[in-house]
Amino acid sequence: MESRIVEFANVLRRNGVRVSLSENMDAFRALELIGVENPTLFRSALRTTLIKRAGDIQPFEELFNFFFLGIGEAIDALDRRIMEELGLTPQQFQEMLEQIQKFLREMEGDLSELAKALLSGNQGDLERLLREAMEQEMQSGNSENLRYTPFTRMAGRLQMDRVQSEVERFKGMLQMLGQNGEDLQNVMRYLDERMRDMYKLLRELLQQEQRKQGMEMRDSSQRTALADKSFSFYTEDDIRRMNDAVARLAQRLKNRLSVRRKRAARGRFNVKQTLRKNLQYGGVPFNIQLDRRKKTKPQVMILCDISDSVLNASRFMLQFVYSIQDLYAKVRSFVFVSEIGEVTKLFEEHDINVAVEAALKGDVIDVFSHSNFGRAFEMFHRNYFTAINSKTTVLIIGDGRNNYNRPNDWVLREIKSKAKQLIWLNPESRMTWGVGDSEMPRYAPNCHIAEECRSINQLYKIVDLIVP
Amino acid sequence: MFRSVDDVVSGLGTQKYICNKNVATVVYLGTTLQKPILVEGPAGVGKTELGKVLASALGMELIRLQCYEGLDEGKALYEWEYAKQLLYTQILKDKIGETLQGAPTLQAAVDTIARQDGVFFSDRFLLPRPLLRALLSEKQSVLLIDEIDKSDAEFEAFLLEILSDFQVTVPEIGTLKAKHIPLVILTSNNSREMSDALKRRCLHLYIDFPGEEREMEIIKLKVPGVGDQLAQEVVRLLHRVRKLDLKKTPSISETLDWVKALTLLNVKQLDNELVDQTLSALMKYEADIRKASQELKTYLAEKKAHQGPTSGGSDSDHLH
C-alpha cells in the first residue's frame, strides 16, 4: 500500500499539487490508524494529510477516483455483468463462487496465482497481480520487444496462455466429477466469461495507464516557465495559474515589507518621555519609551489599459494590485481604453476573480473602442486629479499605443509634480517604444519611472518601486 | 481520547455538533497523531465551534487565542510583570539593604545583586498568555487559535516553532517544555494564504456549507420547537439564497437565528407576511435583504404552482 501512496503523491505533484515528504509520512501514519477497508475514511485520511489548500481539493478528488477506484471499479462492473448474464441472484452467485473455491482448494498447487484469483473472484488479488505486472512493464521501459503491442507484452507477462489452459483443465476436471446439469452449465459459462473478462480488464488497465501517463506529462514543464513567459503569449491555462503566481509575489512582497515597517517603527530612545512615564516607579526606567515613527500607509492609484493588446498584463496587474490592497491606505483602480472608469468599488466588494473579470468585461467602460490614451488622461484629469496628493503613487499600465490621437502628455507632467511618484509599466519591449503609433518617447520622460514589464520576473525586479 | 472515527461522531454528537465522516476522520487523526488541525471554510460553518465542542466532548479546558493584525509574542506567549517585580523590590528594600551591607565596593554590590537575579526572573513574575498556558497546563487542553489568517507572517513563523516542538525558550529562565501536548485547532477564513511550512505541520480540513439534509438535522437539533415543514422550507430557500450574488452569504449561525425568530413568532411555514420582516435576522445588508426577499417571493410562487412540496435530495456523506 505504501508504494501506492507514494505513487499517488507523485501523480498529485505532477498535477501541480505540492506534496512534501513529511506529508507522505503523515499519510502513512494516518492509514495505519484508519486502515484501508472503508473507502470514505480512506479518502478523508488521504485528503487531510496530502491536500492543504482548498483549491487543490477538486484535482485531488478527480485523481483519487481515477487512481484508487479505477481498476477496482472495472472488476466490480464485470462481476455484476456476469451475474446478469447467468441470471443469478447475488446469493446464488456467492454460492457458486464458494463451490468453485472448494474445488480450487482441492487442486491446490497446480494453478497459477492469477488463475486462482480469477476463478475464485478474488478481487483484491486480481487487482494486485495486474498492477504488479503493469509496474514491471513500466520499469522495463519498453526497450524489449518493440515489435509487440503493449497488450501482447502484458499478456505475456501475465502468462495468459497458461491461465487459459489452466481454466480449460479445470473445466475438464469439473466434468469428470460429474456435477448435475444446470449448475455445471452455469459454472462452465461463468468460467468462459471470466476468461473473456480477463482480457477486457487488461485492456482497461492499459488504457488507464496511458491516461495516467498523459496526466503526468501535463504542465510541470510549463509551470517553471510561466515566470519568464511574456504576458502576451499566455494561454488559457497560464491565466488560470496566474492566481498562484500573483499570490506568491504578493506574499513575498508583504514579508519583505513587514520587516521593513517593523524596523521603521522601532524608533529611537526618547529620554523625556521615558522619565515622565516612569515617575510612577520612582524614576527607575522600567518602561522604555521610544519615538514611534508614524506609519504612513501610502495611497495608490492604478490606471490599467485594458485594450486587447495588453489584456493579460493588465489582468495580471489588476490581480496583483488586488492582492496587495491591504498594504495601502487607499487603492483606487481605474480601467481605460478610450474612456476611463473607476473599478475601486468592484475590488472592495467582490473576491479577486470576480472583481478582475468584471473590471475587464466592460461593465464599467466600453472595451470595444480603440485605445486613446490622450482622451483617457484628459478624462482622468478632469474627474479624479483632485484626489491625488503627495502620498499618492500613480501607476499606469499600458503600451502607450495611442492610434495617432492627441497624446495629452501635459496630464502626466501635472500628475508627476503633484504625486509622490508616477510609474509607467509597459508590457511591450523597449525596442518598440516609439515605433509606429507608440507615444512612449513623449510619455516616458514625464514619469518618475518608466519600465518594460513583460513577465512576472520583470515585475519581481521592479516591484520594490511600487510599494512603500 | 477518541478510540475510532465513529467515536468522534458520537462524542461530538453529545455536544450537539453534527459532523460528517470526513470531519470526524480528520478530528480522530488529529487527536490521535497529535497533529494540529487547520480548519478552513466560509464564515459561519462552525469552524470555531468545532474547537469548542472538541474541548467539551473530551472534558478538557479550552484555551482560545484570537488572532489579529499586530498580535505579537508578548500578547500570545508570555510577559514579565514589571509592576509586580517593582512592588516586590519596594517591599524587600530592607532585605536588599542587608544583603548589600557586606559589600565593600560598588562592583561587589552589583555582583551580589546579580547572584539574586533568579529571584526576579522566575515563574513567579511570568504572566502566561494563552500559548504558554496551553503548554504548561496540568491537564491536556484544547488550544483554539482563531482566525490565524488575520495574524502577520512573523507571528505565523513564531507559531511554527511552537507547533513543531511544543516548547518555548524564555531567555531569563530557559526552555519550558510542554507538560502535555495540547490538541491544536487553527481556524482560517482564508483572507490570506497561510505559509506552506505551517500547512505541512497541520492536517487540513475544509468545511463547506452542509447539504440540505444535514442542515435540517442541525436546525432540528439546535431549535427544538421548530416544525418539520418550516425547517424543510427554510433549508430549501437558503440553499437557493446562497447561490445568489450576495455581499454576505447567510451562514449556519444566522440561519439558526432566523429560525429561532420565526419559531418565536409561531410561524409554521414561509408563506406568512411576518417572514419578510424577519429577514434582517438572516441578512446583514439592505441590498442582500432585497435580493433574498425577491427570492422568497419566487420560491413561494413556485411552491404554489407545485403545491405539495417533495422532500429534498438524499444526504450524501460528502460535503464536497
- Give contacts of B206 with chain A, Cβ < 8 Å: 54, 57
Q: What is the pLDDT of residue A55?
A: 76
Instruction: Kindly determine whether residue A286 and residue B22, on different chains, have CB atoms separated by under 8 Å.
Output: no
Residue B320 reports pLDDT greater than 50 = no
Q: What is the distance in angstroms between the Cα of A314 and the nearest Cα belonging to chain B?
A: 22
Nearest CA in chain A to B80: A286
Smallest CA–CA distance, residue B194 to chain A, in Å, is: 9
pLDDT value of position A144:
54
Contact criterion met (CB < 8 Å) for B25 and A281: no
Closest to B25 (Cβ–Cβ): which among A45, A51, A349?
A45
Give the residue, A23 or B102, on which the prediction is more confident: A23
pLDDT attached to residue A467: 64
Name the band, by pLDDT with cuts 50, 70 and 90, for residue B319.
Answer: very low
Partner-chain residue, chosen from A251, A281, A349, that has the shortest CB–CB distance to B86: A281
Residue A233 has a pLDDT of 66
Minimal CA separation from A390 to chain B, in Å? 27
pLDDT at A310 over 60: yes
Q: Work out the pLDDT band at A146, boundaries 50, 70, 90.
A: low
Contacts of A48 in chain B (CB under 8 A): 25-26, 29, 37, 203-205
**Model confidence at A367: pLDDT above 60:** yes
> Is residue A43 pLDDT above 80, yes or no?
yes
Q: Chain B residue closest to A21 (CA)?
A: B200
User: Is the pLDDT assigned to residue B225 strictly greater than 90?
Assistant: no
**Average pLDDT of B23-39?**
94
pLDDT over 90 (residue A413): yes
pLDDT digits over A164-198, tens only?
888 787 777 777 766 666 677 777 777 787 777 77
Average of per-residue pLDDT across A19-33: 91
Q: Which of A26-30, A354-358, B88-92, B161-165 has the highest mean pLDDT?
A: A26-30
Give mean pLDDT, residues B61-68.
93
Size of interface A-B (CB pairs under 8 A): 80
Residue A17 has pLDDT above 90, yes or no: no
Q: Name every chain B residue with its beta carbon within 8 A of the beta carbon of A33.
A: 28-29, 32-33
Best residue of A12, A41, A278, A279 to probe chain B, by most B CBs closer than 10 Å: A41
Min Cα distance A458 → chain B (Å) is: 24
Interface contact B86-A349, CB threshold 8 A:
no
Is the confidence at residue B228, as pLDDT, over 80? yes
For the segment A137-142, the average pLDDT, to the nearest whole number, is 66
Q: What is the pLDDT of residue A224?
A: 45
* 3-state DSSP assignment of residue A341: strand
Residues B267-288: what's their mean pLDDT? 85
Residue B24: pLDDT band (50, 70, 90) is very high
The answer to whether residue B311 scores a pLDDT higher than 80 is: no
* pLDDT one-digit tens code per residue, A147-163: 667 777 777 877 878 88
Q: What is the pLDDT of residue A277?
A: 82
Nearest C-alpha neighbor of A467 from the set A267, A271, A331: A331
More confident residue, B115 or B22: B22
Can you give the pLDDT at residue A172?
A: 78
Residues of chain B with a CB closer than 8 angstroms to some CB in chain A: 5, 21-22, 25-26, 28-29, 32-33, 35, 37-38, 40-41, 82, 86, 152-154, 190, 192-193, 195-196, 199-200, 202-206, 247, 317, 320
pLDDT per residue over B74-115, tens digit each?
A: 888 888 888 888 888 888 887 878 877 877 888 888 888 788
pTM as predicted: 0.59
More confident residue, A389 or A77: A389
Q: Each residue of B125-167: pLDDT tens digit?
A: 888 889 999 988 899 999 999 999 888 888 888 888 888 888 8
CA distance A53 to chain B (A): 8
| CB-based contact A41 B202, cutoff 8 Å | no
Q: What is the pLDDT of residue A462?
A: 75
